[in-house]
C-alpha cells in the first residue's frame, strides 16, 4: 500500500530481507522507515501500532488506530484486532462448522452462531517471533500447533514480512501446513486487519469516516450477507450510486448513501449496523492495479491498495462505542475517543466463509 500526500499503497509482493539482530525500542516497538513512511510494530499479533505518512503540508500523520501503551494490546477485553493478523482462518466460518473429505470439524462460536477469525485464541492473540529485522523491513513468524484454535487441526507455520520503500508499504504473508491434508490450503486464509482514519481524527468538522472518498473500480459485485454478516452464497451487483457502489465513479464519499433508509442496516445487526461490514469481489483487475483507493481532502492523503487476493472486506467501525482512547498522535482536545463510524478497516482476503461455499 502506498501512503503519502500523493498516495499510500499496500502491496502483496515479495521483498528481500537481510537478517540483523532485532532491536525494539524501550516500549517494545520495532521501527522501520523509508523517506516517506515510518511504521512501528510489536510481536503481539504481529501488530502494526503506528503508521506515519506525510500529509499535504509535509507533516507526519499517524493514520492507523492503536494504543499508546504497547502492553495494553493483550489486555484490552474488547480486542478489536487492531492492525494485526487474525489467522489461521480469517473472518467468519458459518455455524462453527466446515467439512473436508467427508469429515466435519467444529470450531469455536465467538460471533453469535458463527466463528470469527478462528475463535478467541487466533493469531492476533499470540506473540509472534521476530526472525529478521532491518531499517526498512521486519519479519514475524508463528508456529501454530494443531487444535490450538478449536477445530483447526494440523501444525501450521506462518510468516509475515513488512517492508517500506518510498511511499509504499508492502505486506507479504504466507502459511504452510506440513502435517494435515485437511489444512493443505483449504482451511488457511490470512489477512491484515488494518483500521484507517486518514485525518488522524484531527478534522474539526467531523471525526466520522464518511467524508473519506472510496473508489473500487473492479468491485461492482459483493457477497450478500445475512443479519450476522455471514455470506448467504449469493452474489449481488451494485447499481450506480447505490449503497454498495464504489465502482461506477471515482470520488464517491464513503457516506454517499447515508440518506438511503437501508444504510442503517446495510451491515446487519438487526438494523443497528450502519454502513459496511462486507466483502467486495475484485473482478478482472490487471496485474498490479490499484483495486481500492481511500482518500481524504482534509489531510490530502490517499491510500491505494494493490493485492493478489480475490476481494476485500470493508468494515466502517459501527461497533466502536466511544470508550477506546485515541493515541496521543491523534485527535484534538475536543475529541480523544474512537467513536462509532470514525474509522474503516480494509482487509484484502479470499472469500468470506469460502470453506463452506
- Domain boundaries along the sequence of the chain: 2-196, 209-349
- Residue of higher predicted confidence among 6 and 262: 262
3-state secondary structure of 71: helix
- Residues 166-182 have a mean pLDDT of 88
Predicted local confidence at residue 183, as pLDDT: 52
Q: Which of 16, 54, 19 is nearest to 35 (CA)?
A: 54
Residue 283 has pLDDT above 90, yes or no: yes
The pLDDT value given to residue 15: 37
pLDDT band for position 211 (cuts 50, 70, 90): very high
Q: Is the peptide bond preceding residue 88 cis, with omega within 30 degrees of 0?
A: yes
Question: What integer pLDDT is reported at residue 47 of this predicted model?
Answer: 98
| pLDDT score at 101 | 85
Which grid cell is 321? 462505542
Q: What single DSSP character describes residue 260?
A: S
Give the closest residue to 10 by CA, choosing from 163, 134, 123, 136: 163
Give yes or no for residue 130 having a pLDDT over 90: yes
Handedness of CA 50, 53, 59, 65 (dihedral sign): negative
CATH of domain 2-196: 2.70.98.10
The model's pLDDT over 306-343, given as tens digits with 9 standing for 90+, comes to 999 999 999 999 999 999 999 999 999 999 999 999 99
- CA 36, CA 102: separation in Å to the nearest integer? 51
Residues listed for the chain: 357
Assess whether the region 2-196 and the region 209-349 belong to the same CATH fold: yes
pLDDT at 142: 98
pTM of the model: 0.93
Residue-level pLDDT at 162 = 98
Give the chain's mean pLDDT: 93
Q: Residue 17's pLDDT band (boundaries 50, 70, 90)?
A: very low
Question: What is the model's pLDDT at position 187?
Answer: 86
Query: Per CATH, which fold does 209-349 belong to?
Result: Beta-galactosidase; Chain A, domain 5 (2.70.98)
- Does 10 have pLDDT greater than 80? no
Amino acid at each position: 500500500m502506498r501512503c503519502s500526500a500523493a498516495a499510500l499503497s499496500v502491496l502483496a509482493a515479495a521483498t528481500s530481507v537481510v537478517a540483523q539482530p532485532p532491536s525494539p525500542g524501550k516500549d517494545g516497538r520495532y521501527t522501520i522507515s523509508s523517506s516517506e513512511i515510518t511504521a512501528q510494530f510489536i510481536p503481539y499479533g504481529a501488530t502494526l501500532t503506528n503508521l506515519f505518512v506525510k500529509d499535504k503540508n509535509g507533516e507526519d500523520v499517524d493514520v492507523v488506530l492503536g494504543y499508546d501503551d504497547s502492553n495494553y494490546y493483550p489486555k484490552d477485553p474488547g480486542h478489536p484486532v487492531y492492525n494485526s493478523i487474525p489467522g489461521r482462518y480469517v473472518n467468519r466460518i458459518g455455524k462453527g462448522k466446515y467439512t473436508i473429505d467427508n469429515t466435519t470439524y467444529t470450531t469455536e462460536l465467538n460471533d453469535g452462531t458463527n466463528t470469527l477469525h478462528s475463535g478467541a485464541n487466533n493469531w492476533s492473540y499470540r506473540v509472534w517471533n521476530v526472525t529478521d529485522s532491518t531499517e526498512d523491513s521486519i519479519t514475524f513468524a508463528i508456529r501454530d500447533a494443531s487444535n490450538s484454535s478449536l477445530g483447526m487441526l494440523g501444525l501450521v507455520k506462518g510468516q509475515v514480512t513488512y517492508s517500506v520503500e518510498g511511499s509504499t508499504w508492502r505486506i507479504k504473508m504466507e502459511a504452510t501446513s506440513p502435517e494435515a491434508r485437511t489444512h493443505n490450503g483449504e482451511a488457511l486464509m490470512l489477512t491484515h486487519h488494518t483500521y484507517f482514519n486518514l485525518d488522524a481524527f484531527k478534522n474539526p468538522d467531523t471525526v466520522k469516516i464518511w467524508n473519506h472518498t472510496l473508489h473500487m473500480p473492479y468491485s461492482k459485485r459483493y457477497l450478500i450477507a445475512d443479519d450476522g454478516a455471514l455470506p448467504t452464497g449469493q452474489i449481488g451487483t451494485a447499481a450506480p450510486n447505490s449503497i454498495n457502489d464504489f465502482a461506477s465513479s471515482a470520488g464517491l464519499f464513503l457516506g454517499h448513501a447515508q440518506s438511503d433508509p437501508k444504510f442503517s442496516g446495510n451491515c446487519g445487526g438487526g438494523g443497528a449496523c450502519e454502513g459496511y461490514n462486507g466483502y467486495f469481489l475484485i473482478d478482472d483487475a490487471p496485474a498490479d492495479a490499484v483495486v481500492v483507493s481511500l482518500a481524504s481532502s482534509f489531510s490530502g492523503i490517499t491510500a491505494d491498495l494493490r493485492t493478489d487476493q480475490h476481494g476485500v472486506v470493508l468494515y466502517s467501525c459501527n461497533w466502536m462505542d466511544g470508550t477506546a482512547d485515541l493515541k496521543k498522535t491523534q485527535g484534538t482536545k475536543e475529541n480523544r475517543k474512537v467513536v462509532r463510524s470514525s474509522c474503516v478497516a480494509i482487509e484484502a482476503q479470499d472469500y468470506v466463509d469460502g470453506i463452506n461455499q
